[in-house]
Amino acid sequence: MCGIVGYIGHREAYPVVLKGLKRLEYRGYDSAGVAIYDGKNIKLSKTKGKVVDLETRVKEEISDVGTLAIGHTRWATHGEPNDVNSHPHYSNSGELVIIHNGIIENYAPLKQELINRGYEFKSDTDTEVLVNLIEDVKKNENVKLGKAVQVALNQVVGAYAIAVFDKNKPDEIVVARLGSPLVIGVGEDEFFIASDASPFIEYTNNAIYLEDEEMAIVRRGKKVKVRKIKDDSLVDPYVQELQLNLEQIEKGGYDHFMLKEIYEQPRAILDTFRGRMLANEGIIRMAGIDDNIEKFLNANRILIVACGTSWHAGLVAEYVFENLTRIPVEVEYASEFRYRNPVITEKDVVIAISQSGETADTMAAIKLAKSKGAFVFGVCNVVGSSISRETHAGAYTHAGPEIGVASTKAFTTQITVLTLIALKLAQKKGTISTSEFHQYLSEMDAIPAKVEKTLTSDNHVKTIANIYKDATNFLYLGRGYNFPVALEGALKLKEISYIHAEGYPAAEMKHGPIALIDEQMPVVVIATRKGHYDKVVSNIQEIKSRKGKIIAVVMQGDKTIKNIADYVIEIPETLELLTPLLTTIPLQLLSYYIAVMRDCNVDQPRNLAKSVTVE
Ligand code: M6R
């Protein structure tokens, strides 16, 4: 995790880097720092806390003038988040300065070697080891910074995206990546370096995404030179035109990115199926599936690997795929899958789901599956992300940038893509009839408008949030397609409001969780009319008779549950298989409003970061 930003060109660099850090803060926010070259010296300022704290520090401590700067916003791995461990880090001579996103796994022996050679360390970080290793190579081998970086990185085990400069060569920044993202924005006589393109989108649409094991020398007024770190071979950099715009990465009048992203879901879902699903003509076309359809149709089973919310989307997909296609599906936490020596064969198709496309465990699971000969298909949101490039084929979710740490529109668009895939396969296999296929397509077509309608429950959900905001525990129950939605609702509440919450299949309640029910326990029950309705109604009765409080998400016009629940939130009628796209909306709003009312930092919850690029 961590966000890195750099600028070299003709503008004042600090404002560019500062704004960029604010945009990358979703990647980590426990400390921040900046190093500016002022024409003679490096000015460095860093602090525990957020980018706003850095802003104050810079004002107090250093001159912010200069046309070269690098900055960092951190999610701590090695060393607690304090001022000293914040990036950038100097080398011992004070000539080199570095920012780093990732982990140097063999930092301990490298550090010991450097200590034996007389190096001293101020911080507990692996990054300070790396910058001194680069310095050591540079001095001992009498080479330029670029070469020193290359030699040093060949001794390193781990993951990194780095930017480093030398105060004696202030016309260049050397960057490199392995396992952590790094993109170079190419402007008119100026360059931007960042973990994603958001810091420079108002300056240029042209970008070079470094591949793993590549490094680049970004030199003022020159073309970017890209090389392979391992064998020094030159790479012709591909300058790609970005589709991102500024509006997409700003709050657009909403108090928080999370709320904006919740409200973007009608548009995001539409964008996800736009051009892929032609409901009137009864067509689904998705290049990644069409080109590989036989692999899916002949698969022994489909394995889905993912983490967090993406794993929940995978669970929904398990129900959808098995029901529509009759292909067996297994869903695994990527972090477990990668280490448990799973049985994978060439007849398996693996679907990896990841919003960021950078999650380390998901990436490792993909590599493992590929090494066993499985065909791996990616479902990612971030275009050009590591996972989208590592997989054999894939489909983007087209949700647009998701900046709030709590995933919202990524979840519903992942379900949308996965449902389209399942429908396409079912049509090809003949496991659903033509009329069913057409019905699903026309219902899917109506989903954006129904999400819009569901969002009108906003004020009602806010009222419910106000009633239960001080609860210490919540239970979420759902069945079938909505069991994973219950898990997702509980995760949303936990991560942004810090209230303990658990999701369960409704029928499991009597096997344990029922012991928790008393008058203090709010229970959110998803009770759609066709989802084992009567059984869920019985579960609600069981909770009520133990004085639990029921907040039920029901289909429009439901009368039975209205009579027994404390509160009901209605969603429009749709096919049961598509209900997760609607039932999840009020649960997102509920957690959002509770977190706001508890004065929590909704977009940047404590201890979390948007993309988990470490194990
Ligand atoms: O980028 P990914 O989808 O791979 O991320 C997976 C999880 O880290 C992510 O979904 C996380 O659980 C979110 N904070 C949930 O809101």
The secondary structure of 124-139, three-state, reads CCHHHHHHHHHHHHHH
Residue 531's pLDDT band (cuts 50, 70, 90): low
Average pLDDT, stretch 299-311? 97
Percent with pLDDT over 70 in the chain: 100
Q: Is the distance from CB of 324 to CB of 436 less than 8 angstroms? A: no
Q: How far apart are CA 528 and CA 103, in angstroms?
A: 46
Ligand 1 lined by 352 (C-beta under 6 Å): no
Ligand 1: residue whose CA is nearest its atom 4: 354
Q: With residue 276 as reference, give the H or E element that holds it.
A: none
For ligand 1, atom 7, which residue shows the shortest CA distance? Answer: 308
- When the pLDDT of each residue in the chain is averaged and rounded to a whole number, the result is 94
**The pLDDT value given to residue 611:** 76
Rounded to the nearest 10 degrees, how much is the dihedral formed by the CA atoms of 36, 41, 47, 53?
-50
Task: Render pLDDT for 354-409 as a digit per residue (tens, 0 to 9).
Answer: 999 999 999 999 999 999 999 999 999 988 888 998 999 999 999 998 999 999 99
User: DSSP character for 610?
Assistant: S
607 within a domain of the structure (yes/no): no
Q: Is pLDDT at 348 greater than 80 in this prediction?
A: yes
150 alpha carbon to ligand 1 midpoint, in Å? 32
User: What pLDDT shows up at residue 532?
Assistant: 81
CATH code, 410: 3.40.50.10490
419 lines ligand 1 (CB under 6 A): no
Confidence (pLDDT) at 215: 98
As a whole number, mean pLDDT of residues 496-503 equals: 97
Same domain, 550 and 414: no
Confidence band of 300 (pLDDT split at 50, 70, 90): very high
Whether residue 310 has its Cβ less than 6 Å from ligand 1: yes
Task: Please name the amino acid found at residue 49.
Answer: G
> Does the beta carbon of 335 sit less than 6 angstroms from any atom of ligand 1?
no
CB atoms within 10 A of CB 10: 12
- Structurally, the chain folds into a number of domains equal to 3
Residue nearest atom 9 in ligand 1 by C-alpha distance: 308
Q: 354 φ, ψ to 5°? A: -160, 125
Ligand 1 site, residue 414, Cβ cutoff 6 A: no
334 and 405 in a single domain? The answer is yes
- % residues pLDDT > 90 (the chain): 84
**Does ligand 1 have an atom closer than 6 angstroms to the CB of 362?**
yes
Structure tokens at 436: 């069913």
Mean pLDDT (whole number) for 72-80: 81
The pLDDT tens digits for 237-267 are: 999 998 878 878 888 889 999 999 999 999 9
In a domain, 612, yes or no: no
Please give the angle made by the CA atoms of 543, 545 and 548, to the nearest 5 degrees.
Answer: 45
Cβ–ligand 1 contact at 568 (below 6 Å) = no
Token pair belonging to 176 = 């490199």
| Helix, strand, coil percent content, the chain, rounded in steps of 5 | 40, 25, 35
How many C-beta neighbours within 10 Å does residue 124 have?
A: 15
- 502 is a domain residue: yes
> Mutation test of ligand 1: which of 316, 351, 403, 612 has the most ligand atoms closer than 8 Å to its C-beta?
612
- Indicate if the pLDDT at residue 478 is higher than 80: yes
Residue 514 has a pLDDT of 86
**Could you give the CA distance from residue 286 to residue 290 in angstroms, rounded to a whole number?**
6
Q: Which atom of ligand 1 is nearest to the CA of 387?
A: 4
* Tokens 């290793």 -> residue: 133
Q: Measured from the CB, is residue 386 less than 6 Å from ligand 1?
A: no
Quote the CA–CA distance of 440 and 445 in Å, as a whole number: 8
End residue of a domain, out of 251, 285, 315? 251
- 396 and 463 in a single domain? The answer is no
Judge if 584 and 535 occupy the same domain: yes
Residue 145 tokens read as 């910074």
Average pLDDT over residues 291-310: 96
Question: Can you give the pTM of this predicted structure?
Answer: 0.83
184 and 84, same structural domain? yes
Contact present, 110 and 134 (Cβ < 8 Å): no
Residue 407 alpha carbon to ligand 1 centre in Å? 6
Cα dihedral sign, 142-148-152-154: negative
Domain presence at residue 313 = yes
In a shared domain, residues 437 and 513 = no
317 lines ligand 1 (CB under 6 A): no
Note whether residue 536 is domain-resident. yes
Domain holding 371, by residue range, is 261-453
Residue 512 counted as domain residue: yes
Q: Is residue 52 part of a domain?
A: yes
Return the amino acid letter for 100: H
Residue that is last in its domain, among 251, 283, 300 = 251
What is the distance between the alpha carbons of residues 322 and 328, in angstroms, rounded to a whole number? 6
What residue's CA is closest to ligand 1, atom 11?
308
Please give the distance, rounded to the nearest whole angstrom, from the Cα atom of residue 142 to the centre of ligand 1: 44
Taking residues 51-59, what's their average pLDDT? 94
The answer on 529 and 485 residing in a single domain is yes
Whether residue 280 is found in the same domain as residue 336: yes
Whether 104 is covered by a domain: the verdict is yes
Say if residue 245 is in the same domain as residue 299. no
Residues with catalytic function: 2, 610
Positive or negative: CA dihedral 187, 358, 353, 292: positive
Query: Please, which pLDDT band fits residue 412 given cuts at 50, 70 and 90?
Result: very high
Ligand 1 atom with minimal separation from the 307 CA: 6
> Does residue 413 share a domain with residue 289?
yes
Q: What pLDDT does residue 552 have?
A: 97
d(CA 455, CA 581): 12
Confidence of residue 438 (pLDDT cuts 50, 70, 90): very high
Contacts of 317 (CB under 8 A, 6+ apart): 304, 329, 331, 351, 353, 415, 418, 419, 422
Distance 395 CA to ligand 1 centre (A): 18
- Measure 377 CA to ligand 1 centroid, in angstroms: 18
Residues 132 and 64 in one domain: yes
45 shares its domain with 133: yes
Q: What's the 268 CA to ligand 1 centre distance in angstroms?
A: 18
Contact 50, 67 (CB under 8 A): no
Residue 77's CATH number: 3.60.20.10
Of 209, 229, 251, the domain-final residue: 251
